[in-house]
Amino acid sequence: MTDMTRWLLLVLTLPTDNATARMRYWRALKTKGCAVLRDGVYLLPDGDSAGGEMTEMCESIGRAGGTSYLFRLASRDRAQDLEFRMLFDRADDYEALRRSLDDARKSLTALSPVEITKLLRKTRKEFEAIAGLDFFPNEASVRAQSAWQDFIAAADAVLSPGEPRDTEGTIKRVKRADYQGRVWATRSRLWVDRVASAWLVRRFVDSEAQFLWLASPDDCPSDAVGFDFDGATFSHINDRVTFEVLAGSFGIENEPGMAGLSSMVHSLDVGGGVTVPEAAGFEAVMTGATQRGLSDDELLAEMGQMLDSLLAHFAAIEKAPAKRRR
């Protein structure tokens, strides 16, 4: 540590005759990750937006009939700096999460795909909640991050056996003329990236494409164009999912609406990136379609219509971005 940490110190008195307001502010302080020094005295690292947020809270407390004072200060010395930092140590929270992930991992094979998806969403929310309040990351956060990634990999292995690993490289442009009237092969039991990739192929690359749904990538014929599995002609590259790689390879990433679709597919397949609101709806419809027992051909036909509509939707947003904010 070369510099002392800058802190925000909040001293407040909440209105005694308004229990609802008191509970609201206590919850807000907890949500922001404030440490309690004593009754009515709270400490928080002075981050980029923390000062503005705490100032707004002070104004709100005043309107509710309370009093508050916000101070900016630095630690007196290194000993005090360390003492204050320890108030924000999240090691216990991370350890509890790791134990929870270990227990959840043991039950994965007994869960349905829908249950696994819900569990992933729940544990992701728990991990991000802790990480969002981890102002001083340390080894505990690194271990938790590793445990979280291992859990995702275990869940993916159950949801999508043979899920491809990212490979390093560059996306190379290819000629559409070399990929006409071909057999395209990918893993069966389609999910978001594969169904979107198959739709993209038939919509933009090879209108006569025939699809082969593989029980195992090892069953891919030598003359077929494989996609979305290790060793396939088109699969994950760097942080791009197969849909994005196909769009880049065939030069269609700039088609109207394609940016929105790419963001949706990426966030649903591997998480991260820009999450669009439409992702939740697409995931819900696809989950329902799989629960109805549709074959992969039927799934492609049904979800393909939705992807056609979403492409038009995202294209319209690109033309009139203000509509999306209303």
The average confidence (pLDDT) of the chain is 90
The mean-pLDDT minimum among 37-51, 57-71, 271-285 falls in: 271-285
Contact yes or no for 234/249 (Cβ under 8 A): yes
Task: Supply the DSSP symbol for 4.
Answer: P
What is the pLDDT at residue 97?
95
Element (H, E) at 115: helix 113-132
Contact yes or no for 68/57 (Cβ under 8 A): yes
Residue 306 confidence (pLDDT) above 70? yes
Confidence of residue 161 (pLDDT cuts 50, 70, 90): low
Residue 2 confidence (pLDDT) above 60? no
Q: Name the residue with tokens 């609201």.
A: 24
pLDDT in tens, 202-221: 999 999 999 999 988 989 99
Residue 160 confidence (pLDDT) above 80? no
Topology, domain 6-86: Alpha-Beta Plaits (3.30.70)
Among 2-6, 85-89, 291-295, the range with the most confident prediction by mean pLDDT is: 85-89
Q: Residue 202 to residues 57, 181, 211, 308: CA-CA distances in angstroms?
A: 54, 10, 10, 12
What is the pLDDT at residue 42?
96
Residue 156 confidence (pLDDT) above 80? no
Residue 325 confidence (pLDDT) above 50? no
**Which of 54, 50, 57, 51 shows the shortest CA–CA distance to 24?**
57
Confidence of residue 166 (pLDDT cuts 50, 70, 90): low
Query: Beta 41-45 vs 35-38: how paired, if at all?
Result: antiparallel
What is the pLDDT at residue 321?
58
Residue 47 confidence (pLDDT) above 90? no
Mean pLDDT score, 133-140 = 92
Mean pLDDT score, 114-127 = 88
If one compares 241 and 112, the residue with the highest pLDDT of the two is 241
Confidence of residue 254 (pLDDT cuts 50, 70, 90): very high
What is the pLDDT at residue 208?
96
Mean pLDDT score, 256-279 = 88
Residue 323 confidence (pLDDT) above 50? no
Q: Residue 39 to residues 25, 26, 159: CA-CA distances in angstroms?
A: 13, 11, 48
Identity of the residue numbered 182: R
What is the pLDDT at residue 270?
79
Mean pLDDT score, 82-102 = 94
Could you give the residue range(s) of every CATH 3.30.70.240 domain in the chain? 6-86
pLDDT in tens, 225-237: 999 998 899 999 9
Confidence of residue 31 (pLDDT cuts 50, 70, 90): very high
